[in-house]
């Protein structure tokens, strides 16, 4: 039998003009009455020490934090249009987080200077909001995390800005599908690498690259706890999933080669070949018979569905 060939996607052009850093506004203050994670002042989260399995009380709080994160992401998404700066999106996220009694988890995490990550075009992740206005045809990932009642909720969507080209539309749609397939692979007694297997299989069918340097993670009382969730198949990752585990599934797929580099700010990761990349993310809970998405609106709607 002939070996099945990997599907070849139409060659995507380099994203032009390339994204360049803009000016940063001053760090936004958080009122003193807002509960803070341990790293809020020092910037150092320290070593992970929490369990990979959440208590029933922690799960209940994570559902509330997940609902809040989804609501904030929807508010941010409504701001996405040509001419709006990513700094303005940061301001909206910051204010919406505080309005819900929460702390914006990225703020001062290992020194990160803003309250949300905004990753435009060839920026893979951890883009820092600045004075650059969004342009017609851009794509932008908005990655929201809130610390609320002692736990974190983490979610992201990649948005189309105005009239995006067909390559970008396909990338965004297939990245969301890859995340969905990864989440659908979650169930008790499955190894964690089943998630990466499902994501990588879909990406390869679509001729898209899978970024390996950035992965999903355990989350709960800590922003990033010990469990690692790769978006590609690694046979060594044979930890079995059990009910009560909470973690993120957040694949980053590329139109070209997934190799990446960091800007001098030590945060902004970009594709080396300058081609576009997209990401979607949910915080999920392993249940007795499958998986729940925690970062949805109170009625169960995913933020991405609001903008579909």
List beta partners, residue 286.
291
Cβ contacts of 300 within 8 Å, gap of 6 or more: none
In this prediction, residue 1 carries a pLDDT of 34
In this prediction, residue 11 carries a pLDDT of 77
In this prediction, residue 308 carries a pLDDT of 85
Q: What is the DSSP letter of 82?
A: T
Decide: helix, strand or coil at residue 153.
Answer: strand
CA 36 to chain centre: 21
Q: Encode burial over 178-208: b for 16+ CB neighbours within 10 A, e otherwise.
A: bbbbbbebbebebbbbbbbbbbbbbbeebbb
In this prediction, residue 2 carries a pLDDT of 37
Residues 29, 38: Cα–Cα separation, whole Å: 16
Give how far Cα 4 sits from Cα of 1, 7, 8, 181, 295, Å.
9, 9, 12, 21, 37
Cβ contacts of 16 within 8 Å, gap of 6 or more: none
Each domain of the chain, given as residue ranges in start order, spans 56-306
The model's pTM = 0.95
Any idea which fold 56-306 has?
Creatine Amidinohydrolase (3.90.230)
Q: For Cα atoms 50, 53, 57, give the angle at the middle one, nearest 5 degrees.
A: 90
In this prediction, residue 38 carries a pLDDT of 96
Give the strands of the sheet with 246-249, arranged side by side: 225-229, 216-218, 246-249, 282-286, 291-293
Residues 303, 295: Cα–Cα separation, whole Å: 8
Residues 90, 118: Cα–Cα separation, whole Å: 8
Structure tokens belonging to residue 43? 């910037």
Tokens 């009382």 label which residue? 221
What does the pLDDT profile of the chain (308 residues) look like in tens digits? 333 334 444 578 999 999 999 999 999 999 999 999 999 999 999 999 999 999 999 999 999 999 999 999 999 999 999 999 999 999 999 999 999 999 999 999 999 999 999 999 999 999 999 999 999 999 999 999 999 999 999 999 999 999 999 999 999 999 999 999 999 999 999 999 999 999 999 999 999 999 999 999 999 999 999 899 999 999 999 999 999 999 999 999 999 999 999 999 999 999 999 999 999 999 999 999 999 999 999 999 999 999 98
pLDDT 10s digits, 276-306? 999 999 999 999 999 999 999 999 999 999 9
Residues 33, 46: Cα–Cα separation, whole Å: 23
Virtual CA dihedral for 219, 223, 228, 232, nearest 10 degrees?
100
């Amino acid at each position: 039998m002939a070996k099945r060939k990997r599907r070849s996607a139409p060659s995507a052009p380099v994203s032009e003009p390339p994204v360049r850093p803009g000016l940063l506004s001053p760090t936004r203050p958080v009122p003193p009455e807002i509960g803070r994670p341990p790293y809020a002042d020092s910037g150092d989260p320290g070593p992970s020490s929490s369990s990979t399995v959440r208590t029933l009380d922690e799960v209940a709080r994570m559902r509330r934090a997940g609902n809040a994160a989804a609501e904030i992401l929807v508010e941010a998404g409504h701001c996405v249009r040509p001419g709006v700066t990513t700094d303005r999106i940061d301001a909206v996220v910051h204010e919406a987080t505080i309005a819900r009694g929460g702390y914006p988890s990225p703020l001062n995490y290992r020194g990160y200077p803003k309250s949300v990550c905004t990753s435009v075009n060839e920026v893979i992740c951890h883009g820092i909001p600045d004075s650059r206005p969004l342009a017609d045809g851009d794509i932008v990932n908005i990655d929201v995390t809130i610390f609320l009642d002692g736990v974190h909720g983490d979610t992201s969507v990649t948005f189309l800005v105005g009239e995006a080209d067909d390559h970008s539309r396909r990338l965004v749609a297939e990245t969301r599908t890859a995340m969905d397939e990864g989440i659908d692979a979650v169930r008790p007694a499955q190894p964690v690498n089943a998630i990466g297997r499902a994501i990588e299989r879909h990406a390869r069918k679509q001729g898209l690259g899978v970024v390996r340097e950035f992965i999903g993670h355990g989350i709960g009382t800590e922003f990033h706890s010990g469990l690692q969730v790769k978006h590609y198949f690694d046979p060594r990752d044979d930890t079995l999933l059990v009910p009560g585990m909470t973690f993120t599934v957040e694949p980053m797929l590329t139109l070209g080669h997934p190799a990446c580099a960091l800007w001098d700010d030590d945060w902004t990761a970009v594709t080396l070949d300058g081609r576009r990349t997209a990401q979607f993310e949910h915080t999920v809970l392993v249940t007795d018979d499958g998986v729940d998405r925690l970062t949805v609106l109170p009625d169960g709607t995913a933020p991405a569905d609001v903008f579909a």
